[in-house]
Amino acid sequence: MAAQSKLAEIAFNCTCQEYIHPWTSSCVCSAAGMILSIFPSSLRVYGAVYLMALILRGRIPSLKDLGRTVAGVVQSAAFLSLNGSFFILAICLVRQLLGGFYFSTASLIPSLLVGSISLFAERPERRAPLAMYVANVGIETLWKMMEARGLVRSIPNGQVLIMGLSITALMYMYRAGLHKTVAKDPTFKGLGIIVGKEEEGPVKSPTVTTSQSSRQRPLNFRSITAYLELYDRLLTTKHPSCPHKSGCAKYAVLGGLKPFLGGVGLQVGLKLLLNIPKIIKLKMQWRKQILNKGSLQLGLALGIFSLLFKTTSCGLRHSCGYDSALFAIPAGLLGSIGLLWFPNNTVALYLMWKSLQLLYNWGVAEGRVPEVPHFAMIMYGIFTAVLCHATILEAQSMRPSYFKFIETISGGRLSRFNLKSFEAFGVGSQDQANQMIKKLGIVWNSPYPRFALTV
């Protein structure tokens, strides 16, 4: 107990210079150096993001478009720079106000204070997507933190379950026609490509009809013509309530084949794009990088989902005698079997947050749930606080790519934070940070970070 009390006293009495800016005694200079370090890196990051968005429009940009793009890049870079510098300054100010560091004030509360405020510097149309992004990474990080404490346990293919439920909710909204009214979102364009425009809602008023198969004469399979007629029926037979023009069997098979080919093409194209330097140097290992089962994963997931979704939907229309948006629920759940081929955490969490957001918008429009003012900004602040806390004090719960991103834009500051005084917190912060630094191969080329502004 005495040793633990001594460690707690050391953690509380740790100065912000010892902890977060050991290269300078000035808190203001530390925050200023963070701005100078983040801003150039942010310009490069957001420059690439906005340029890609400009290219995806598919038309030659006008001078007005270029001007807006440049202004957007500068504003977004300013937002990220202010966020980082205010975070450093908030840690120092909170310590001075409370007289020392607690577990919650070493990172979590300072980030919570500045996260939502700094988002005001970002463009309004960018705030909701940013909130979605940090919520995506943040919920995964929070889960890993709870898992490390033994509070939760991951289940096999849990991300597939999340993905299946989320895409089922989205498909119901798509079939109900809500994507044209209260749930407008670009995500539905992607769903339209996967399952086709035929399944787009709103569904016509359900009219019970007599099943077409009941009026057809039975086949005599003792003759060859029966097999030819069966083949013809497979190609042409459809229920009157089916929204497609061709036969149900042809519709389902082609509906699965097209997304399969598209998914394979997309995955191979991305691999080729990421390996351009190796291709130019003729060092590309084609069999290892391209000609493998991994290149089929996305295509199989999309193709099987579309095939099962359309097969189930047509089967329900034949059985019930009418069409309904509710058919998207069993069809989506069965189609989710195909997602076992592509168990991706990032995609699963994105679909989960997107479906929750659109369901919330629908609930607000229907007056069934209250509208929370500035909900996106609140969500951004909460999950940014989770990410900042984990990045510094519980690095093993953070995505390595995100840790590397913070280390790069901060000019090498993150790896220089001194966390030895926080052993009393019981999470081994310094050991977790050292393991992450070793894993990422981070090496200091200078005793000081970029723009150290030593005093």
Supply the DSSP string of 399-410, one letter for each residue.
-HHHHHHHHHHT
Residue among 384, 363, 286 nearest 84 (CA): 384
Query: Coil, strand or helix: which one is 321?
Result: coil
> Higher model confidence: residue 281 or residue 61?
61
pLDDT for 231 equals 61
In whole angstroms, give the CA distance from residue 95 to residue 15: 8
User: Taking phi first (over 0 means left), then psi (-120 to 50 degrees means alpha), and beta for anything else, what does residue 284 get?
Assistant: beta
Question: Is the pLDDT at 162 greater than 70, yes or no?
Answer: yes
Number of other CB atoms surrounding residue 21 within 10 Å: 29
Question: Is the pLDDT at 335 greater than 80, yes or no?
Answer: yes
Residue among 48, 45, 113, 39 nearest 78 (CA): 39
In whole angstroms, give the CA distance from residue 78 to residue 86: 12
pLDDT for 435 equals 95
In whole angstroms, give the CA distance from residue 319 to residue 321: 6
In whole angstroms, give the CA distance from residue 416 to residue 401: 18
Contact 347, 97 (CB under 8 A): no
For 80-99, the pLDDT digits (tens) are 999 999 999 999 999 999 99
pLDDT for 167 equals 96
pLDDT for 108 equals 93
Question: Is the pLDDT at 336 greater than 80, yes or no?
Answer: yes
Residue among 305, 339, 270, 313 nearest 191 (CA): 305
pLDDT for 229 equals 64
The alpha-carbon radius of gyration of the chain (Å, integer) is 27
pLDDT > 90 in the chain, percent: 53
pLDDT winner (highest mean) among 132-146, 209-223, 277-291: 132-146
Question: Is the pLDDT at 451 greater than 70, yes or no?
Answer: yes
Average pLDDT, integer, range 190-198: 89
pLDDT for 214 equals 45
Buried b or exposed e, range 148-177, using 16+ CB within 10 angstroms: eeeeeeeeeeebbebbbbbbbbbbbbbbbe
- Helices and strands (DSSP H and E) totals, the chain: 18, 0
Question: Is the pLDDT at 239 greater than 90, yes or no?
Answer: no
pLDDT for 50 equals 86
Nearest 5 degrees, angle CA 210-CA 214-CA 220?
Answer: 165
In whole angstroms, give the CA distance from residue 299 to residue 341: 9
Nearest 5 degrees, angle CA 121-CA 89-CA 33?
Answer: 85
pLDDT for 188 equals 92
Contact 309, 331 (CB under 8 A): yes
pLDDT for 400 equals 93
345-366 helix and 124-148 helix, angle to the nearest 10 degrees: 120
Q: What element of type H or E holds 357?
A: helix 345-366
Contact 105, 94 (CB under 8 A): yes
pLDDT for 363 equals 93
Q: For tokens 């719960």, name the residue.
A: 397
Question: Is the pLDDT at 215 greater than 60, yes or no?
Answer: no
Using pLDDT thresholds of 50, 70 and 90, give the confidence band for residue 424.
confident
Q: How far is CA 298 from the centre of its chain?
A: 16
Query: What is the DSSP annotation of 181-196?
Result: TTT--THHHHHHHHH-
Residues in the chain: 455
Lowest mean pLDDT across 24-28, 231-235, 397-401, 428-432: 231-235
Query: Coil, strand or helix: which one is 222?
Result: coil
**What are the residue ranges of helices labelled H in 2-123?**
2-13, 16-19, 27-56, 63-98, 108-118
In whole angstroms, give the CA distance from residue 392 to residue 190: 37
The average confidence (pLDDT) of the chain is 87
Contact 362, 179 (CB under 8 A): no
Using pLDDT thresholds of 50, 70 and 90, give the confidence band for residue 9.
confident
| pTM attached to this predicted model | 0.82
In whole angstroms, give the CA distance from residue 88 to residue 412: 14
Residue among 6, 5, 127 nearest 72 (CA): 127
pLDDT for 234 equals 65
Using pLDDT thresholds of 50, 70 and 90, give the confidence band for residue 159.
very high
Question: Is the pLDDT at 186 greater than 90, yes or no?
Answer: no
Contact 241, 210 (CB under 8 A): no
For 265-316, the pLDDT digits (tens) are 888 887 777 777 777 777 777 677 677 777 889 999 999 999 999 999 999 9
In whole angstroms, give the CA distance from residue 120 to residue 82: 11
Question: Is the pLDDT at 396 greater than 80, yes or no?
Answer: yes
